Copies of this chain bind each other. A is one copy, B any other.
Amino acid sequence: MTQMLGKQSIRFETPPYIEASGSVVGKKEGEGPLGDLFDMVSEDDTFGCDCWEEAESTLQKEAAALTMGKAGVKPEDVRYIFAGDLLGQTIATSFGIVNYEIPLFGLYGACSTAGESMSLGAMCVAGGYANRVLAMTSSHFASAEKQFRFPLEYGNQRPVSATWTVTGSGAFLLGTEKSHVKISGITTGKIMDYGVRDSMNMGAAMAPAACDLIVQHFEDFQTSPKDYDRIITGDLGYVGQEILLTLTKERGYDISAVHTDCGIEIFDKDTQGTDSGGSGCGCSAVTMSAFFLPQIQRGELKKVLFVPTGALLSKISFNEGQTVPGIAHGVVLEYEA
């Protein structure tokens, strides 16, 4: 029996499980509504390092250590890492995981990387290529601002459509050992370019990709919004959410009753000055890890479609006048008693 479903999806014959997960975040994330749920909150966003990039590497190192620790496994028990981050040449990942000496598949999917890494990790385990893999990603407010906009020291102003890059790393240990959460399927996104050119409005750039992914997911799996307890996008924020709900309605699906967004959940926009919401690879990874995953583990959420979203730009492409295309990757997480 083929596992391929429709145009862009896979239903796993032997679904892999999420055996453990860990989250590490910065100070501001710790002060937000989910603050008490994260495994580790640092009071110092440099994490004791000399530069922001090293700080972000430390986030990944700690998230991996935490996750392996929870599952009681050692690096040599993990066959592959699927990981990436937002920085050019994904240096946060390279320097974060080098000491674990685990074979690496380096990824780049912008802020959709959490979904991409879980998708490939799940394919790998379900395909019999590994008993255990780590899927992880990170972002850091200061390294991302420096990479995509201006160094913090420049003190530039932010429009209300801007999102706030989450300082955090989330890791997921996927494996064959039964837990209460399985990855039953995935839907893989293609690049969608609606011609948005505003790097300060990522929500608008990514919403079309999220819409396309979600609608394709319904068609491939022959489902509809009512089949999910939650449809959780990565980091569309308030601006992107509004566009997504409109676009999906135009395609014949009303997801407003079940939709939420990690970028909306992670900060309190009224007190934290985070404008449209949180963003970054780390946003969806830590919010899934600390907030949603435990609800699935306890059976409070039975079936969830997790859709991390990414904006495919670089400082160079932006300065050269290119558009900001989007991509999204969907992962179905289901409770198993």
Do A103 and B188 touch (CB < 8 A)? yes
Q: Does A316 contact B (CB under 8 A)?
A: yes
Q: Does A258 contact B (CB under 8 A)?
A: no
Best-surrounded residue of A126, A130, A314 (most CB of chain B within 10 A): A314
Say yes or no: A190-B314 contact (C-beta < 8 A), given A89-B88, A90-B108.
no
The interface size of chain A toward B, counting residues with CB under 8 Å, comes to 59
Do B110 and A108 touch (CB < 8 A)? no
Residue of B nearest to A316 (CB): B53
Do A129 and B312 touch (CB < 8 A)? no
A95 to B312, CA, bound (A): 9
Do B4 and A104 touch (CB < 8 A)? no
* 17 more A-B residue pairs beyond the given contacts A91-B313, A123-B129, with a C-beta to C-beta distance below 8 A: A2-B128, A4-B79, A4-B130, A87-B316, A88-B89, A89-B312, A91-B312, A94-B325, A97-B191, A98-B193, A103-B188, A103-B190, A104-B191, A107-B108, A123-B124, A123-B127, A147-B316
Q: Which residues of A contact B (CB under 8 A)?
A: 2-4, 8, 10, 50-51, 53-54, 79-80, 84, 86-91, 94-95, 97-98, 101-110, 116, 119-120, 123-124, 126-131, 147, 188-191, 193, 312-317, 320, 322, 325, 327
